[in-house]
Structure 1
Amino acid sequence: MRDIDLHQKSTSKTHEKAIAGRTSGLIENNETVTWRGKHLGVYQTHTSKIINMKKPYQFTDIMLKGTFKSFKHQHLFKQEGDNTIMTDILEFESPFGIIGKIFNRIFLKYYLKKFLLERNKIIKITAER
C-alpha cells in the first residue's frame, strides 16, 4: 500500500511504524521506507523500496534489509464496475536453508496470508468511508 499513514493504521496489531525513509503520505517510485513492527513476538525492522509503479494499476516493492532472505510484494489494482479489486502477490524466502523452507510451509505462509487479509479488511473499510 502506498499510503504510509493508512499502512500504519491497518497494521496496528503488529505496532508497525515507519521509522526511516518516507514516513508519511504516499510513497513514490524509487523511494524507501523502513518499518518497525512486532511479528512472531519480536520487534523487527524491514526496509522496502518501490521498484516499479504504474499508477493506478500496480506497484512493486522489494526488501532491501530485513529478516527474510528475499521479499517481493506486488500490489495489483483492477476496476470492476464501481469496485476496485486489489490483489497482493507476495514472494518470499526465509533464511536458514532447509529449516527456513520447512518453517515457510508449516507456519510462515499461513501467518503472512492472515496478516495481509486482516490488514486489507481495514484498508477496505477505510476506502469505503
Structure 2
Amino acid sequence: MGVRFSRRTVLPASTERCFDLALDVDVHLESFSDSGEQIVGGVEAGGMRLGDDVTWRARHFGIWWTMTSQITAFDRPHSFVDEQVKGPFASFRHLHVFTDLGDGSTEMIDEVEFEAPLGPLGLIAEKAVLGRYMPHLIDVRNRELLVQVQRV
C-alpha cells in the first residue's frame, strides 16, 4: 500500500541553482545535522548526477539507520529522482520537479512515495508515525534549501 505525499516550496533563485543545491550532499548534511546524519559511502561531497549513489547514516527515533539512495532519473534543471537501493524501507522514491516562475523564483515540488517493511507491522508504522514524520523531514530539508539559495 505505502504512503504518498507532496510538498510545494517556492525558492527565490533560478531553477538551475535550486536544482543543483537539491542534489548537493553537503546541503543535505546541513539539513539533517540534528539527526547526526553522515555519509558512509558513495558520493562524499558536492553535487550528484545520474547513476550516483550515496549511503547515509542517521539517527531517527533513537535508532541508527543506514540507507543508500541512487539518482535514477536526471533532467537538469527540470527534475530528478532519488530512490532507495538499500535500506530500511520496502521502497522509497522521491521525485523533485523544478519550474521557473518567471520572476526569478522557482517552484519546487517534492513527490514522495514509500512503503515500510514488515507487512502489517509496517502498515501500522506508516499510519502511526511515518506518515507524519517523513513529510516533516522533507520540510526540514526544504527550509535549509531556502536558507542556502539566499546565500550569495
Judge same fold: TM > 0.5, yes or no.
yes
User: What is residue 122 of structure 1 aligned with on the other side?
Assistant: 144
Displacement of 1:119: 1.7
Deviations 1:40-89 (A, max 9, x none): 11111100111100000110011111001111111111111211111111
Displacement of 1:26: 0.5
User: What is residue 44 of structure 2 aligned with on the other side?
Assistant: 23
Displacement of 1:32: 0.7
What is the aligned-residue identity percentage? 34
Moved segments of 4+, more than 4 Å:
none
Which one scores higher on RCO, CA 8 angstroms, separation ≥ 6?
A: 2
1:118 and 1:33 map into 2 onto residues whose CA distance is 19
User: What is residue 84 of structure 2 aligned with on the other side?
Assistant: 63
Displacement of 1:99: 1.7
Normalising by structure 1, what TM-score?
A: 0.95
**Alignment RMSD (CA, Å):** 0.9
Unaligned runs of 5+ in 1: none
In the alignment of these two chains, the number of paired residues is 129
Q: Secondary structure at the match of 2:47?
A: coil
User: What is residue 33 of structure 1 aligned with on the other side?
Assistant: 54
Deviations 1:83-128 (A, max 9, x none): 1111111110001111211210121010011111012111101111
Unaligned runs of 5+ in 2: 1-21
Normalising by structure 2, what TM-score?
A: 0.82
Q: Secondary structure at the match of 1:18?
A: strand
